Amino acid sequence: MNTNQKIAKVHLTSRFRQLLVAILSVSFGISMYIAMNSFMAGVNNIQTEITFTSMSHIKIYNDLSSTITQISPKPKDSNTILMVNNARNIQYTQGIKNADAIKNELLNMSEINGVALQLNEKVFIRNGVSNTSASLTGIETVNENKLFETAKYIIEGDLSELDKRSDGIILGVGLAQTIGVKTGNTISVTTSEGVSKTFKIIGLLESGSKVRDKTSALITIQTARQLFSKNKSYATDILVNTYDYNNARTVAEKVRKLTDYKVESWQEGNEQLVSSSLLRDILAIAVSLTILIVAGFGIYNIMNMTVNEKIKEIAILKAMGFNGKDVIEIFLTQSVAIGLIGGFVGLFLGNVIVQMLDIVPFKIASYNTLPVVYNIKDYILAFSFGTIITLIAGYLPSRKASKVDPVEILRG
Amino acid sequence: MNAISIQNINKHFYDPVEFQVLKDISFDVKKGEFVSIIGKSGSGKSTLLYLLSTMDTKYKGNIAINGTQVTGLSQNELAKFRNEQIGFVFQFHFLLPEFTVLDNVMLPALKLNKKSKDEIEAEAIESLYLLGLKGQELKKASKISGGQQQRVAIARALINSPSIIMGDEPTGNLDSKNTNIVFDVFKELAKERGQTIIAVTHDDEFADNCDRIIELSDGKVISQ
Ligand SMILES: Nc1ncnc2c1ncn2[C@@H]1O[C@H](COP(=O)(O)OP(=O)(O)O)[C@@H](O)[C@H]1O
Ligand SMILES: [Mg+2]
């Protein structure tokens, strides 16, 4: 330790209470930063978990092209006028015919974690007199479960039962209620083309989403293909999950090279989710930075008081030959010490707070306690912000101290 | 070579009204001289001493100390110069209250950083003994009497063996016994170590025993 640091140490240790307050204010700022960001990350995770119970990271489907290409050639000379009235986009194919081939290609991509085919159609469900429309989904049970953990949300019966009997159907709980049926009952499903088939209810689905539970019915994709008289490889949607949902956009870009069908990453269809998670992040950072800055003001205040209190001593040091840089070092050392000690205490305290949040009972999605994420990045950022702010907060009073004119102070 | 040589020093204060406090002062002080500056209150003694100490740089004229022209040096150069060459004793003792007596004395030498800590400590203890402060070394500076504090301040001024020691009424708060101790120490430093002493004083007896008296009146030297 050099002489300046020794002086700083004496200054610090001789005012223990002020030191404690300063350290605590830094610790508080840093621990709050950690707690806020860990919690917000937890909330964001839950949000995505909920989002991805029914939505895949990337969806491929047959879409009407939005641009209308003009088929007739443009007239060559300006004397001819071409008039096309009522140009219209007519979809002449529906769904994806060669879904299996695309699926195999997708599974070869290293970024892709799983692929599930679906056949989605609107149908009528009839139980004697009551009659309601529903969204019928033909699924590949194993792949569907891999992507969405569907089995977890089957509250009666079993997802794998679907594969065992071709007349099995699983209804959303709300839908079953609407038409007044229970597991074991039979219902008839009628397609828009008027084809009817009888199904036996082998299970109920409660996904947590009211809309979905009120409208959806699940059968196997094979049964669905028969019902709608489609070929063996037909699907309306190819659902793709990547290893990291944040990469969905770039993976979608790659997938576009494989197929002409519409490829949509989850971000494109759900701007509101992306922006609300971004907003939560901004909010967390804004609030925690504010807390840190307030802590910074605390340090500034304390260091300023210290400088005012010690103005005579500063003058003496200068009279004895300490220069401006020495004085800055003396006072900056004090705030750096406060920043570092407060920083480490804050990291510890922050971790304790996060662990406490982690055991607060709170039921949401698959969690039973408040959601938190332990992310080393939060700790590093909190510590760096905290020490940078103390450094700035300490520098201003130190500079003021270094400018003290000893003659002004010492003149009798 | 003169310890101090000043030429045509003029100084004004501008606040609250313009006021010339020092008027065309010139004098030399020889090495090893023990000089006192006397004069009525308000005659400009302290102001002059602060100029000589290099702390106050707002003046016209020229100051050279030990052959170095200090007028025009930067604040950092002056701080270094003070640390090496000048020991200063203030009218009010002005110790660092949170430090021990020994630390107070050692600080200027630790800053100078030319000797080992052990050497500095040994020298500090020696000058504390010289000033009759045996046994006080490890007390906090705020926990000793005013007279003792003043002597600690003198020990501190001596620690770097400065070629010049300046005091603004260094015995102003001391009783006659302590005044005599301080006077004897100054006298000995001047005679035996060749250190130059300049002390502002109100004490006629103290002044009479010096090598030389410079008297100020209304910012002018009236006798030297
Ligand atoms: N900072 C200042 N601003 C304006 N006038 C000052 C200031 N310091 C001292 N003076 C004036 O300068 C004169 C000389 O002051 P000083 O050198 O302290 O006198 P002394 O030490 O001889 O009693 C006094 O009239 C005093 O009022
Ligand atoms: Mg005076």
Coil vs helix vs strand at A277: helix
Instruction: Answer yes or no: is pLDDT of A63 > 90.
Output: no
Tokens representing residue A260 in the block? 């002409």
Facing B96 at nearest CB: one of A313, A325, A326: A313
Lining residues, ligand 1, CB within 6 Å:
A 411; B 13, 15, 21, 39, 41-47
**Is any Cβ of chain A less than 8 angstroms from the Cβ of B96?**
yes
- Could you tell me if A227 and A322 lie in one domain? no
The beta strand positions in B52-195, using DSSP E, are: 60-65, 68-69, 86-89, 164-168
What residues of B are in contact with residue A313 (Cβ under 8 Å)? Answer: 96-97
d(CA B20, CA B47): 11
Going from N- to C-terminal start, the domains of chain B cover: 2-223
A84-93, A212-221, A262-271, B77-86: range with lowest mean pLDDT: A84-93
Residue A265 sits in the same domain as residue A279: no
Residues 6+ apart with CB under 8 A from A365: A46, A49, A50, A208
Cis omega (within 30 of 0) for bond into A406? no
Would you say residue A92 has pLDDT above 70?
no
A214 and A109 fall within a common domain = yes
Same domain, yes or no, for A336 and A264?
no
Give me the residue from B55, B99, B169 closest to A319, CB to CB.
B55
Whose tokens are 């088929």? That residue is: A71
A81 is a domain residue: no
Confidence tier at B223 by pLDDT (50, 70, 90): confident
- The whole-angstrom separation of Cα B215 and Cα B203 is 13
Nearest to B173 by CA among B192, B148, B196: B148
Instruction: Note whether residue A320 is domain-resident.
Output: yes
Nearest to A3 among B76, B96, B107 (CB): B107
Residues of chain A with Cβ-Cβ distance to B88 below 8 Å are 319-320
Burial of A259 (0-12, 13-18, 19+ CB in 10 A): middle
Specify whether A12 is located in the same domain as A37: yes
Cα B106 to Cα A213: distance, rounded to the nearest angstrom: 83
Residue A121 lies in a domain: yes
Q: What is the residue range of A45's domain?
A: 3-51+274-411
Identify whether residues A294 and A224 lie together within a single domain: no
In this predicted structure, the answer to whether residue A50 has a pLDDT above a threshold of 90 is no
Give per-residue pLDDT as tens, A212-271: 899 999 999 999 999 999 999 999 999 999 998 888 999 999 999 988 899 999 988 788
Check whether residue A258 and residue A292 sit in a common domain.
Answer: no
Nearest to A291 by CA among A23, A10, A27, A13: A27
Q: Which three-class secondary structure state does DSSP give residue A197? A: strand
Using alpha carbons only, what angle is made at residue A206 by residues A268 and A144, rounded to the nearest 5 degrees? Answer: 55
- Assign domain B2-223 to its CATH superfamily: P-loop containing nucleotide triphosphate hydrolases (3.40.50.300)
- A111 and A184 fall within a common domain: yes
Q: Is B79 on the interface with A (CB under 8 A)?
A: yes
What would you report as the CA-atom Rg of chain B, rounded to the nearest whole angstrom?
A: 17
Q: Does A10 sit within 8 Å of B99, measured CB to CB? A: yes
- pTM, two decimal places: 0.76
Q: Chain B partners of A321 at a C-beta cutoff of 8 Å?
A: 79-84, 108, 111-112
Do A122 and A248 lie in one domain? The reply is: yes
Structural domains in chain A (count) = 2
Calculate how far, in angstroms, residue A392's C-alpha sits from the geometric centre of ligand 2.
Answer: 39
Which residues from B are below 8 Å from A312, CB to CB?
94
Min Cα separation A10/chain B (Å): 7
**Domain for residue A115, yes or no?**
yes
**Alpha carbons B125 and B28: distance in angstroms, whole number:** 34
Two tokens at B154? 């003198």
CA separation for the pair A296, A300 (Å, rounded): 6
Question: Is A264 a member of any domain?
Answer: yes
In a domain, A68, yes or no: no
Confidence of residue A66 (pLDDT cuts 50, 70, 90): low
Please indicate, yes or no, whether residues A328 and A406 belong to a single structural domain of this protein. Answer: yes
Domain for residue A250, yes or no?
yes
Same domain? For A185 and A295 the reply is no
pLDDT in tens, A129-181: 788 999 999 999 999 999 998 998 899 899 999 999 889 999 999 999 999 99
Going from the Cα of B40 to the center of ligand 2, the distance in angstroms, rounded, reads: 9
**Which H or E run includes B121?**
helix B117-130
- The answer to whether residue A84 is domain-embedded is no
